[in-house]
């Protein structure tokens, strides 16, 4: 897994501007759209059940984020996922706060059967999704990502999705292989929506992939690029308001040289 191969996905997103259909939570719609625009993708927040099914096949990828799930949104998500699957459009699941809350947890489990291409969550969320008992109290994970590595592999094998557990170290696995990324900054947890927008970036990269075989590398590339941008942004801005601005600026401008020089990636031997 070479940095140059990963950066080729960044270039592809910038050139193709994949259209990412986002059904996401109320808190992060704006930031998610700005992150997608910064990396060169085209966000589209089409939310009504009446339109979601018609729109999903027009998009290159679909993002389903459960952060502020309610019944009308659940219906729109079902319609969008069905339409995406029929059209062969890959979709990404962000199971925000799954575990302690029964309503969204049941829905997340239902969605696993609808074959997401990628699942990205924090440690608590991934442990919960794979059937374990996590200690999360909602949106913030209290578990370290290492603790979720086994759960992530099991979830990947069971769903055939690429699974990403993000935190101080990010792990990406397809069940057989595991990559660890160690970029980023603690400031990424001090701005709301950075994690949610990471899932949107994954959707954009997967939307620019040429086949299902590339979803693995596309997911690694999206998370590597975003966390490298966060790490570089933290070098110029030490507080959360200015960090959020610098992060968008870096997402729009990191080049392959800076990416290569910053990336910390290792392959993890699978037990």
Q: Which residues bind its own copies (CB under 8 A)?
A: 19, 25-31, 33-34, 37-38, 42-51, 54-55, 58, 67-72, 97, 100-104, 137-140, 189-193, 239-242, 244-249, 251-253
Distance of closest approach, residue 125 Cβ to its own copies, in angstroms: 14
Distance of closest approach, residue 246 Cβ to its own copies, in angstroms: 7
Q: Considering the complex, state which of residue 10 and residue 162 has its C-beta at the smaller distance from its own copies.
A: 10
Locate 10 and state its tokens: 């960044």
Distance of closest approach, residue 11 Cβ to its own copies, in angstroms: 17
Q: Which of 215-224 are b and which e, b meaning 16 or more Cβ less than 10 Å from the residue's Cβ?
A: bbbbbbbbbb
Q: Considering the complex, state which of residue 107 and residue 216 has its C-beta at the smaller distance from its own copies.
A: 107
The number of beta carbons lying within 10 Å of the beta carbon of residue 269 is 6
Q: Considering the complex, state which of residue 104 and residue 120 has its C-beta at the smaller distance from its own copies.
A: 104
CA distances (Å), origin 165, targets 10, 48, 88, 131, 214? 21, 30, 25, 15, 19
Distance of closest approach, residue 268 Cβ to its own copies, in angstroms: 30
Task: Decide if 264 contacts 181 (C-beta within 8 A).
Answer: yes
Residue 32 burial (10 A CB sphere; 0-12, 13-18, 19+): buried
Q: Considering the complex, state which of residue 69 and residue 164 has its C-beta at the smaller distance from its own copies.
A: 69
Q: Considering the complex, state which of residue 52 and residue 156 has its C-beta at the smaller distance from its own copies.
A: 52
User: From CA 242, how far away is CA 236, in angstroms rounded?
Assistant: 9
Among all chains, which residue has been given the structure tokens 């990191």? 254
Q: Considering the complex, state which of residue 105 and residue 173 has its C-beta at the smaller distance from its own copies.
A: 105
- Radius of gyration of the chain, Cα coordinates, nearest whole angstrom: 17
Distance of closest approach, residue 40 Cβ to its own copies, in angstroms: 9
Distance of closest approach, residue 266 Cβ to its own copies, in angstroms: 30
User: From CA 235, how far away is CA 238, in angstroms rounded?
Assistant: 7
């Amino acid at each position: 897994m070479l940095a140059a191969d990963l950066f080729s996905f960044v270039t592809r997103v910038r050139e193709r501007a994949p259209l990412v259909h986002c059904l996401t939570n109320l808190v992060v719609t704006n930031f998610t759209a700005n992150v997608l625009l910064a990396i060169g993708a085209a966000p589209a927040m089409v939310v009504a059940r009446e339109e979601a099914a018609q729109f999903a096949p027009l998009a290159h990828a679909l993002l389903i984020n459960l952060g502020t799930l309610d019944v009308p949104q659940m219906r729109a998500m079902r319609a969008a996922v069905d339409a995406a699957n029929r059209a062969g459009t890959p979709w990404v699941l962000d199971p925000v706060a799954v575990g302690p809350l029964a309503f969204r947890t049941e829905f997340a489990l239902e969605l696993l059967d609808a074959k997401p291409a990628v699942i990205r969550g924090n440690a608590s969320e991934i442990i919960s999704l794979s059937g374990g008992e996590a200690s999360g109290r909602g949106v913030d994970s209290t578990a370290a990502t290492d603790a979720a590595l086994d759960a992530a592999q099991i979830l990947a094998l069971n769903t055939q999705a690429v699974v990403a557990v993000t935190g101080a170290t990010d792990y990406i696995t397809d069940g057989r292989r595991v990559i660890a990324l160690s970029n980023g900054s603690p400031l990424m947890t001090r701005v709301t929506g950075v994690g949610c927008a990471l899932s949107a970036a994954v959707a954009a990269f997967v939307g620019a992939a040429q086949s299902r075989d590339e979803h693995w590398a596309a997911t690694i590339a999206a998370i590597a690029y975003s966390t490298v941008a966060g790490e570089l942004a933290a070098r110029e801005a030490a507080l959360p308001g200015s960090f959020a601005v610098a992060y968008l600026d870096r997402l729009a401008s990191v080049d392959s040289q800076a990416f290569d020089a910053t990336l910390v990636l290792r392959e993890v031997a699978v037990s």
